[in-house]
């Protein structure tokens, strides 16, 4: 295949692909079509996108028990009922269907949280990793205690048992524990588990409008003290939206210093947060632009694909990017470019590296029928996906 006059990075090139590898990258117009070679003209070639935050165990379940209030609390309550009804075949089928939805839309790396309240679901998703790899999809699994580890006697034991099943990351939800102190204790225990098992960490952190929900600074302090820079993700961090500015500045500087990556989840949080407000209602999205200003690493998650928290997800990563541009007021040209490029740059960092399209590398890439970030956000097209 020959890509003629296609954008790659910030320049226009001719790119030849053969045997699922990038054979050559040359000046535009310099490569001549070979016999039987398909030619694709124009467009934009990028690495595949990555999804750093989704819940495959709950995906596609929203219609079974609709969230009437639209709140985070009801979503968790509905999920706790649905969780008890799961079967291995059901978890497997929905996870495969959702992963393929992502792949068709250009996302070939997926990090899923799975509720440790159902160890069968944890085991099922861990066992799907090699099967999905055969379809060109890389899966990471986070052992996530959706209802915390101190609210009931068996939850800590289930959480620890899930770690032994072959997960990639230790998860926790400190703001949902019974007390502030127990939330902080859950952070310390998560780091202990990760250190003992050689795993990364991925927290649901301060997903609240409460300006007194202050777990992110504890996560950052632990990451600094234990030398875990680059191995810790903090998802949501919506309380940061409501912090007073002096405290927010302190925390954002700490995030950057600690090397903790914050994952914003605009689709879910714009509808789940602000539910205790009358008017004006908070958007409830973490301070993406200000985190950038401090040099912190930010990713963008889809979070929910038609699950008990958000019914409208289509597993298309351009959708949360589009939402973030709106609710984060990131409509400047460079801001929109940065949001879109996050999907195939910083979104890959939880997996360990950012893929690069270069000669000799696998042709694991996307071709878009547009050549600017703004047009991607306007049209949100489906890419042509090459799985390498």
> Judging by DSSP bridges, how do beta strands 261-264 and 232-236 pair with one another?
parallel
Q: What angle do CA 252, 271, 122 make, to 5 degrees?
A: 80
User: Comparing C-alpha atoms, which of 18, 21, 48 is closest to residue 33?
Assistant: 18
Mention every residue, 6+ apart, whose C-beta is less than 8 A from residue 251.
Answer: 216, 217, 220, 240, 243
> Judging by DSSP bridges, how do beta strands 2-8 and 39-41 pair with one another?
parallel
Q: How many CB atoms lie within 10 A of CB 99?
A: 27
Segments of 55-194 assigned E as strands = 107-115, 138-144, 169-172
Q: Which residues of 157-185 are buried (b: 16+ CB within 10 A; e: fewer)?
A: ebbbebbebebbbbbbbbbbbeeeeebbb
Q: Which of 74, 207, 222, 346 is catalytic?
A: 207
Does the annotation count 207 as an active-site position? yes
Mention every residue, 6+ apart, whose C-beta is less than 8 A from residue 346.
Answer: 261, 297, 298, 299, 354
- What is d(CA 366, CA 344) in angstroms, rounded to the nearest whole number? 10
Active site residues: 207
């Amino acid at each position: 295949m020959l890509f003629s006059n296609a954008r790659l990075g910030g320049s226009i090139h001719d790119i030849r692909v053969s045997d699922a590898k990038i054979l050559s990258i040359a000046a535009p117009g310099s490569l001549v079509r070979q016999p039987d070679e398909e030619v694709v003209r124009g467009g934009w070639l990028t690495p595949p996108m990555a999804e750093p935050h989704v819940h495959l165990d709950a995906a596609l379940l929203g219609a079974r028990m609709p969230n009437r209030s639209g709140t985070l609390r009801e979503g968790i309550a509905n999920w706790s009922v649905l969780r008890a009804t799961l079967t291995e075949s059901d978890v497997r089928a929905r996870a495969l269907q959702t992963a393929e939805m992502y792949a068709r839309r250009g996302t070939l790396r997926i990090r899923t949280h799975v509720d440790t309240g159902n160890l069968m679901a944890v085991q099922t998703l861990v066992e799907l990793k090699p099967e999905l790899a055969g379809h060109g999809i890389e899966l990471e699994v986070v052992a996530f205690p959706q209802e915390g580890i101190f609210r009931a006697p068996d939850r800590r034991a289930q959480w620890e048992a899930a770690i032994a099943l072959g997960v990639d990351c230790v998860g926790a939800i400190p703001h949902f524990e019974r007390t502030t102190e127990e939330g902080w204790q859950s952070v310390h225990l998560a780091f202990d588990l990760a250190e003992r098992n050689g795993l990364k960490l991925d927290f649901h952190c301060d997903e609240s409008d409460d300006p007194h929900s202050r777990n992110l600074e504890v996560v950052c302090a632990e990451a600094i003290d234990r030398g875990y820079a680059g191995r810790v993700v903090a998802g949501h961090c919506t309380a940061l939206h409501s912090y007073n500015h002096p405290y927010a500045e302190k925390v954002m500087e700490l995030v950057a210093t600690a090397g903790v990556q914050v994952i914003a989840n605009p689709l879910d949080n714009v509808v789940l947060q602000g539910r205790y407000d009358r008017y004006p209602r908070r958007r409830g999205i973490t301070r993406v632009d200000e985190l950038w200003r401090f040099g912190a690493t930010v990713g963008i998650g889809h979070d929910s694909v038609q699950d008990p928290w958000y019914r409208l997800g289509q597993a298309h990563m351009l959708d949360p990017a589009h939402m973030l541009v709106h609710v984060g007021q990131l409509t400047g040209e460079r801001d929109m470019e940065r949001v879109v490029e996050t999907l195939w740059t910083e979104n890959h960092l939880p997996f360990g590296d950012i893929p690069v399209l270069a000669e000799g590398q696998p042709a694991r890439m996307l071709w878009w029928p547009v050549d600017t970030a703004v047009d991607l956000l306007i049209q949100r097209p489906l890419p042509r996906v090459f799985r390498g």
